[in-house]
Amino acid sequence: MRVEEDFEVAKLTSFKVGGKIKKVYFPECETDFIEITEKETDFKVFGNLTNTLVSSDGYDGVVVITTGMKNFSIEGTKVTAECGLKGPKLSQAVAKEGLSGLEFMVAFPGSIGGEVFMNAGAHGQSISDVLVKATCWSRDRGVFQLSKEEMVFSYRTSICQKEDFIILSAEFNLKPALEEEINAKMKENLDFRHSKQPSLALPNCGSVFRNPEGDSAGRLLEASGAKNISVGGAHVYEKHANFIINDKSGTSLDILEIMYKMYNGVKEKFGIELKPEVRYLGGNNEKEVEICRKLKMIK
């Protein structure tokens, strides 16, 4: 198992931002992961770091990155995948087997663990529609399984967020369909992403804020003037106000200051407090910590 110290993480993050992390483990299977839990008493777990803002001042702790845990199997309509597998890869693999239910994943850059953790979804499909059970880990319980009902799914959330459970793998039950129909739906999803959202070639972490119930964060942000916001080397995307682009070597503080301006604009105009979808890893920069507390990204 690969282990790195003083690891420069910026190249792995979708924002292309981040300083040195004191120690990083890269497990390749569940056994590796359990070995880490026996060695380390305090660590944070991430997948592809697609929705994570890592502080430019680094992180003085232990991090586990699960991208090496990427095995999957397809048996009839039953699909099992480890947490580090990229969603688009699984989406394309099941499509070739004539299985429908994961077409939405083709447009998401994240990993299976993160998508189950946040109940990812789009275009009328979501993880909660097809999940059978998830294999999880926690310090108190070790390795255990949760059924779909026990995951307590709701919009962009699951019990794993509330209880700090780590997802190791997931089992899905998909439906047979014609490959041409599946591919057409995947193309539709990709076309929508390309027309409305920034290319993955532009450093960004996807939607910054969750949609409030019955409304769109993008609509609220645009109406409050968010598209005019820029700080340092980062700015709000010109075509969609719920995305931040880091195209001029912006820092994590630049991005957080933009997020706070976006949040405040909507709160002042509509009285709505948007909830960030972005996770934060850091703690060495006092200004960042203060903003994250105001945005309720950390306690």
Query: In what helix (H) or strand (E) does residue 220 lie, and over which residues does it extend?
Result: helix 217-223
Q: Please give the pLDDT value at position 74.
A: 98
pLDDT band, residue 100 (cuts 50/70/90)? very high
Active site residue 207: yes
Where does the pLDDT of residue 107 fall: very low under 50, low under 70, confident under 90, or very high at 90 and above? confident
**Domain 217-294: top CATH class:** alpha beta
Cα Rg, the chain, nearest whole Å: 19
The one catalytic residue in 4, 156, 188, 222 is 156
Classify domain 2-65 at the CATH class level. alpha beta
- Which tens digits make up the pLDDT trace of 169-193? 999 999 999 999 999 999 998 898 8
Which of 91, 126, 158, 207 is the catalytic position? Answer: 207
Give CATH for domain 72-196: 3.30.465.10
pLDDT exceeds 90 at position 196: no
On the question of pLDDT at 23 being above 90, the answer is: yes
Judge whether residue 162 has pLDDT over 80: yes
φ, ψ at 38 (rounded to 5°): -85, -20
% of residues, the chain, pLDDT over 70: 100
* Domain map (residue ranges) of the chain: 2-65, 72-196, 217-294
The Cα 282–Cα 61 span in angstroms is 9
pTM reported for the whole predicted model: 0.93
156 is known as an active-site residue: yes
| Tens digit of each residue's pLDDT (9 = 90 or more) over 218-252 | 999 999 999 999 999 999 999 999 999 998 889 99
Residue-level pLDDT at 183: 94
Q: Determine whether 141 is an active site residue.
A: no
Task: Report the alpha-carbon distance of residue 285 to residue 103 in Å, rounded.
Answer: 40
Secondary structure class of 25 (helix, strand, coil): strand
Structure-block tokens of residue 181:
């129909």
Task: Dump strand ranges (E) for 85-214.
Answer: 99-100, 121-122, 125-126, 131-138, 142-147, 166-173, 175-176
Task: Please give the average per-residue pLDDT across 74-85, as a whole number.
Answer: 98
Whether the pLDDT of residue 14 is over 90: the answer is yes
